[in-house]
Amino acid sequence: MGKNLITGYSGSVFTNYTQGYFPRYNAGITNFFKNDKVNVFASYSYNKDKINRISDEQVNFRDNSNAVYERWVSNFNRNTRSETHTINTNFDYFINENNTISFSSNLLFLPKFDYLTNGQTQVYDENYGGLYNFDNTNNSKDDKHNLGFDLDYLRSFLNGSKLTFNAHLTTYDYNRDQEVNSNYYFLDNTLNFSNAFETISKQNTLINTAQIDYILPFSEKNSEFALGVKGSFVNTDSEINQFNIENGNPVFDPNNSNAFEYKESVIAAYSSFEKSWEKLDLNMGLRVEQSNIEGKSLVTNNLLTQDYFNWFPTISLNYQVTDITSFYTNYKRSIERPGYQALNPFRFFLNDNTIITGNPNLQPAIKDYIEIGVSFNNNIYLQTYYRGIEANFIELPLQDNDNNLLVYTPTNLDFSKEFGFDFITFFDINSRWNVYFVTSFYNQEEETFINGSLLKRDRWSNYSELTNSLSFLEDKSLSANLSLIYWSKSQQGFQTVEARLVSDLSIKKTILRKKGAITLSASDLFNQQDYSVTSRYLKQDNYRYLNQDNRFFKIGFSYKFGNTGLDTNQRIKEKKERDRLEKN
């Protein structure tokens, strides 16, 4: 850790206003103080959002002979209102030159998250003859807090080695009240019947991790050995209670109420070795993990267990062929675990027939990645890669054709692989214009068994990105950035995702002796960011067009005060266990 010898106080304030379909804004403040013994950082930000999302959907339900017998055409309009408070703090105490202790926190409070969905559905026969229609309203109110705390200790030794220790705690509480109302109509739009119910659900998660690492540089230059151990322990308790509304009164529904407990422990040990010669750089490592998982439904008493041991090696080589040409190759084996909500078996209703639910039987995905490439002049890269994934999980819309249901649920695929070819470059056209460009042509192949039938599909696609960064005026106080990202038609979980173009433009002007800045930005300049997704395989036949609230412009202002020459200790600890809290 480098130590900035300048002492004093610095801070900044910022605010942004964004106009999309609805307005939204955020504001915040940062503060930093340091002297010879302590570094203290604290920040606070507030976000108030209202976001609109519209989707047009069609489901064609098929009978046992695979013939369409009903077509459901729906429109959903979703409005999300939220208020978020975020607080980050970091405190470093330098006991002496060789010992440092640190405490940090990352606190998120979401007291308001209102999710209102209005839907209309027309039901037709196979020839689009009208049968009936219905509308529905889903109103859910959420609140949550996500509080993370870290304690760190660093010990430096005279031989240049370092010993670090980290202890982490996260407590996460999530509550949701949901009201669903549906009205069914005859062809002449007279009311047939109504259905209403409400659910009350909550999820409490506690994450504890402890980690110790030792880094030893060898007396020989450009050589280092590291090893460490880590334990992570996760406990999640969830429950849902459903009440059917009968004659205006809530009646408890035990068939759709449940409680679920999830416990996970992972013990890992790892080591790495780095070595550099005149022309060759080597980096290799090994991580071993023992995982023990238990999920239990308290109502049905179903018990799900997973116990497994895995090896995860990594190796990378870089060889300098000439002064401007180098060859490199990398191999990495890794694991990706599903989010905690994806493991939760409870259901969220868009309407009576469209359900989002978790899957407690999800397995972790094991990934093997290998890359081979060559670089020229350190700014042009040509490479090819292969990625194989066992038990890759993805949310699929699966039709229950017997009961006219469409259920979005995360599902493990048996195997998926991807290989491709990349070209990457970045360069200066002149002293004021920098360009970054990447294009990748890749093939995705997926296979799995669905209802006893083997399904296997692949598709070639392209991803390309072009970014231009420019500066203007004599003092370069005016800058602009234009970014374009293009995805061709692609495949995700046997679904066909249509092409889309992401475009962003930002302009920044520094003022007040470069202590202040005004920014203007716009997104989705060409209105090409919305896209459609189609599923057509076996007896799955559904389509949806997603019109998301991603076209907006934003204006912002920021100002730095105090000793702006200070380097702050601002940081947020990256924890894979915490990332899984928000992963669906």
Mean pLDDT of the chain: 92
Q: Quick one: average pLDDT of 541-568?
A: 91
> CA–CA separation, 374 vs 317, rounded Å?
11
**What would the pLDDT profile of 521-530 be if each residue is shown by its tens digit?**
999 999 999 9
Is the pLDDT confidence value at 247 over 90? no
Q: Is the pLDDT of residue 304 over 90?
A: no
417: which residues sit within 8 A by CB, 6+ positions away?
386, 387, 388, 389, 444, 445
Q: Which residue has the tokens 């990378």?
A: 316
Looking at residue 220, what is its pLDDT?
A: 67
By C-alpha distance, which of 345, 346, 418, 364 is closest to 386?
Answer: 418
41-97 confidence digits (pLDDT tens)? 999 999 999 999 999 999 999 999 999 999 999 999 999 999 999 999 999 999 999
Place of tokens 């889903």: 138
Q: Is the pLDDT of residue 403 over 70?
A: yes
What pLDDT shows up at residue 559?
96
Question: Which residues make beta-bridge pairs with 217?
Answer: 224
Q: Distance between the two ends of the chain, CA-based, in angstroms?
A: 36
Burial 166-180 (b: 16+ CB within 10 A, else e): bebebebebebebbb
Quick check: 162 pLDDT over 90?
yes
Tell me the average pLDDT across 120-130. Answer: 95
What does the pLDDT average to over 182-187?
95
Average pLDDT over residues 142-147: 94
Predicted local distance difference test score (pLDDT) of residue 5: 55
CA distance 325 to 323: 6
Give the count of beta carbons closer than 10 Å to the beta carbon of residue 42: 17
Spatial distance between the Cα atoms of 222 and 160, rounded to a whole number of angstroms: 13
Residue 1 confidence (pLDDT): 37
Mean pLDDT of 463-476: 96
| Predicted local confidence at residue 412, as pLDDT | 93
- Which residues is 304 bridged to in the sheet? 295
Q: What are the pLDDT digits (tens) for 409-460?
A: 999 999 999 999 999 999 999 999 999 999 999 999 999 988 788 899 999 9
In 310-469, which residue ranges form alpha helices assigned H by DSSP? 340-343
580 pLDDT higher than 90: no
Instruction: Tell which residue, 16, 145, 36, 39, has the closest CA to residue 89.
Output: 39
pLDDT score, position 584:
56
Out of 350-354, 531-535, 549-553, which region has the weakest mean confidence (pLDDT)? 350-354
| 393-400 and 380-390 beta bridge pairing | unpaired
- Whether the pLDDT of residue 376 is over 70: the answer is yes
Q: What is the pLDDT of residues 257-303, one digit of tens each?
A: 889 999 999 999 999 999 999 899 999 999 999 999 999 888 777 78
Per-residue model confidence as pLDDT tens digits over 189-237: 999 999 999 999 999 999 999 999 999 998 766 899 999 999 999 999 9
Report pLDDT for 2: 45
Instruction: Please provide the DSSP assignment of 290-332 as one string.
Output: EEEEEEEETTT--EEEEEEEEEEEEEEEEEE-SSSEEEEEEEE
What share of the chain in percent tops pLDDT 90?
81
Q: Does the pTM exceed 0.85? A: yes
Determine what percent of the chain is predicted with pLDDT higher than 70.
Answer: 98
Contact 147, 191 (CB under 8 A): no
Determine the pLDDT at residue 180: 93
pLDDT score for 583 = 64
